[in-house]
Structure 1
Amino acid sequence: MDRVLGGVRKCVAGGGRAPGPVGESDRGRIASGALPGWVFAGLLISTLVLAFDRPHWRWGLGAGVVLLGGVCCLRAWPLTDRVAFIDVGQGDSSLVVGRGNGPRVLIDTGGRVTFPRAAWQERHYAPGITFNVLPVLRYHGIQRLDAVFISHQDADHMGDLPGLLAAIPVRRVYVGAGMAANERLQRAVAQAPQPPIVTELQAGQQVRIRGMTFQAHHPHRPGTGTNEDSLVLTAQIHRRRFLWLGDLDKAGERTILKNPALAAEVIKLGHHGAATSTDHALLAALQPRLGIISAGRNNRYGHPAPATLHTLRQAGVPWLSTAEMGYIEYIGPLWGHDYWHTAMDWSK
């Protein structure tokens, strides 16, 4: 793990840009979730009862109460900004958590892409969100989301939206211009216990959520939610500017470069690292310090494509992939530094 953190910290800080993957390949693991609030409450009440029942325990148990209360506060009001690239398999989902009372925002939900099968081949799966996104939200102590941005209509980006809306209150859902008419989106919102407000965005518009600004750079005109209509976002998180490309293709990437203000140090690569995305011109113009690839292990599409990895190497851009690292998280600032954490198990 130290090799991963050291290598990424160095490249993000500008001290080195050795091309290639950061770290080594191994099986990633995902957090199973922190203790829920009712467990903390029960522990606090039990501690207080014991303290009053046994006077000689009061000092030690009192310190325990203070420590436990501090843990609860840090879960609800973290001291750092965080960006988590959740391991949802062959899909996309990112969580942005602002420090203190900052925003709690999800960008895409992940979901399963299904293919036609014979009846005997059908299997019934629990929603993937039960095993990936929701545990991560619980781990961060999140009980409601300020916003969910949906990049486009594909199932691996928005397929788990119904399960998310059923499990946790969401204030607003932002989509690309023209996508509010999508039937699956409308159905998911209508069936939610607390239906969120749906808002369309296009290039040039921005959304400010609890002090953090999310800038839209695409689409430039209303579409239907296809890959070419992907909602592209940037956000300044602590010292770093992040860019999410959805499944935008190379032609679309070249259009967003027409905006001279576009900048990013960390890029969530388009279309899971497919050869149809990550144009040389994009990397040359932005000169990112790190690329993030969200893809499933041993996926049928061969993502990330060898051509994309070659492009990254040529541009001198290191990368992290959920297919190799599992859960990937940016943390900043912590003791004056930025950190990257992955679910890599270095003990094996």
Structure 2
Amino acid sequence: MYRLTIRTRAGNATTIAVALLILIGLALPAVAPRSAIQDLFFILTMLTLAQLWNLLAGYGGLISVGQQAFVGIGAYAMFAGVILLGWNPVVAILFGGLAAFLLAIPFAYLAFRLQGAYFAIGTWVLAEVTRLLVAQWKTLGGGTGTSLPREATSAILGTDTIRALFGVRDAAARDILAYWLALVLVVAVTGGIYWLLRSRLGLALAAVRDNVDAAGSVGVDTGRLKWAVFLIAAVATGLTGGLVFMQTARISPDAAFALTDWTAYVIFIVVIGGIGTIEGPVIGVLVLFALRAALADYGSWYLMTLGVLAIAVMLFAPKGLWGLISARTGLHLFPVRRRLTGPKIEGGN
């Protein structure tokens, strides 16, 4: 008897390994120094942004160069919730997701009228317009930015418990809380994307990416699917932006809407690791972190190294580092392709 399946032995082993890593990650603040927690926070938040951009570009065929708009608006909405409405910063992060959703509606309406390279450039222009408009918001510091009030940062939900549990100061407690929230967010985003790709919607999304006209001809509502993916990515990106700037407790338009920090690095992660795979961004973010740690003191050489490495990978490994590994080993840690199994058809990895 033959049947269609997605499961593989490697995929089952990965599920167990990921569950163990999550448990270890939750317990890590008990033994890890504050610097390690901050580094892990950077890795987790960048991985979240990379998975979301990969969902757009690698699976939806939407090459956006304006995702920094949603990071920035999510961060500023979080600050507005705290400073103007008196909300707790953790609650205000949710306001960042809502603000990103509201921004994404006109953003998508305008950008979806463009195709290919024009879409990419259009998203960047819209992000710059958003940055210029937010820079006029005098209540939140205008072009120079502002900081979270001291009374707000010292009363963040959960920090009292963390201080008592680990015997740390306010700033360290805030770092641990932000790290835990980042861990929850990256698991939710990656798990949600993985579930989506294994569903019928994932098949439809792949069809839209490969050929919009062909997908439409077999009944896929291409317009609605693109809207859904874009809005979902915007909301999660806004939540990430709010979380990042809750941890830093300081914001400015140039920092919140930085093209390099929130889009260029993210694209680098996905391209290096392997676009169109769950595993690719994981490898890519580790490569970025290693290069950042090794070359951060070398100024422009750091950015030049990233550029040269990206070009080399695109030339010699177009599918990224994970694509190279997968092609040689046949390994798929997060399998999404359906395959036929039966009496004479054995399971893959």
Whether the TM-score (by the shorter chain) exceeds 0.5 is: no
Structure of higher RCO (CA pairs closer than 8 Å, 6+ residues apart): 2
TM-score of the superposition, structure 1-length normalised?
0.28
The answer to which structure has the higher strand fraction is 1
